[in-house]
Structure 1
């Protein structure tokens, strides 16, 4: 029987867990109660799930939609806002557009401009060279690290990182077929190889090689004479290439989950685990209790047979 995986995400004062086609959100209220909400995982359909090296992009879109809805719900519960209506399709689309736009600006356009400036002062090659894309990747890494360190200073985000640690520890206990008690869960590491942090780092690393390989081919094919037009075309191409890049990164993460005990997989996952020292913090017993409630809700709805 194939090993079944559980996915998760930290939210405001809580945790979202996914098992099969169901997700469960558990949130601690200001009064100390745990509120659990379960519903079907929003999906784009099943057909694309068999398309290797492409399906990762659709998984990313699904995760964004479900994640935004979970964050919105958790914020309402955590801060005792009126429940009101769930986010409309338009509101979700706007939130996704803003999130993607910010990511493109910070991790695509800005690194490219910085690499372009280095090219102008003779420290990097042109768009056809490997050095340009290596600098581009280095700037992405620095900006990514700086962004994570900056938001980790926000008290509410620090709490989210603690729930992130609780999510990982609880999933580890489940994957090791242990009873979901505090004593069983607390012994596990807060670092997990299938974490979204690792996914983002794989995207970054893979993009360096894909850009260095593909972009010169297209530039030679179209042969733009205008410098600014050439760079604009390159930026658009980089955004389009994120579809196969995210797909490849997803397959790497999926493989890491299946081969996590092999030496080469452990080496491959080291950078992502290192970054998780920042994006996760040690949780307390109450935070683990919330993570357990979320996982049990997802398992129950997903008809898990222990």
Structure 2
């Protein structure tokens, strides 16, 4: 099986696919037509060599993925806004101030709020909960392990809760369409709904796997925080989050390129978690995923080169 550089995500009634510096969003509009938008985003890692170094590139990639993800999600949801929607006074006020840059400003604010909430719920809360155990559980290593278990448990509960929402369930179906389409392509088959349906909705390079790996890696990294001050333990945990994300990215990157038994075994927890964040898509959703691929990738030429042995391993 050949690997590709294509990755993506599900959006509202659609799929985003990214290949190198290009990305495309395909959305099934309310009239059932498919709208495709393509754009370019040149990674900071390709512009500044230092940002392409191991560990650092993971932090950069995470930030850029979050930015593109929010941008494409906003684009897809624009097709489903109420026709009689009128902006409120607050929105009109900020529009006058920022003009055409308002959307970028709002995305920036959303990114900051999202990161703060994630850190608060999945990093800070488990830390303070386990610190309450200090009186009857003096071992720092055991408390750190319990902290990690609480963190993973909160993440799993969060995934389980949002999977019960109808709109999110449809997003998870498009998530499955994204994975199945990439799997079909990497196995060398034509991108048709019939072929794609045969493939797994799980993929080792999935963002869900990345987030779970972050939770697990944090347990190991935080074990090395050996300071007496509660404040410094808290500060160091926050400061080390980028390191944890960078290490996790390197593992996901390796997993996407390797078929070794060890890597496949270590990838299994993330793959199993994808049973919660993906659903089996219908044929129309698969068609949307195909359109998204075609917006950034000549899959027919790719398959021709694959079958002729012209691709490098």
Match of residue 106, structure 1, among 121, 126, 129: 121
Aligned-residue offset at 1:300: 5.0
1:274 aligned residue: 272
Deviations along 1:1-57, one digit per CA (max 9) or x if unpaired, are x95321100001110000111000001111101110000025334224531122100
Are 2:263 and 1:250 aligned? no
TM-score by length of 1: 0.88
2:25 aligned residue: 25
TM-score by length of 2: 0.86
User: 5 Å matches for 1:142-291?
Assistant: 142-213=153-224, 215-216=225-226, 219=227, 230-259=229-258, 261-291=259-289
1:227 aligned residue: none
Deviations along 1:83-136, one digit per CA (max 9) or x if unpaired, are x9676332121010110011011101111111112223x1x335xx21111011
Whole-angstrom distance in 1 between the partners of 2:138 and 2:197? 50
CA contact (8 A) 1:29 1:79 kept: no
Q: Secondary structure at the residue paired with 1:172?
A: helix
Moved over 6 A (4+): none
What runs of 5+ residues in structure 1 fail to find an aligned partner?
224-229
Whole-angstrom distance in 1 between the partners of 2:255 and 2:210? 11
1:13 aligned residue: 13
Aligned-residue offset at 1:232: 2.6
CA contact (8 A) 1:108 1:235 kept: no
Q: Secondary structure at the residue paired with 1:118?
A: coil
What runs of 5+ residues in structure 2 fail to find an aligned partner?
86-98, 305-313
Q: Secondary structure at the residue paired with 2:44?
A: coil
2:105 aligned residue: 90
Root mean square deviation of aligned Cα: 2.1
Match of residue 125, structure 1, among 138, 143, 147: 138
Whole-angstrom distance in 2 between the partners of 1:78 and 1:272? 32
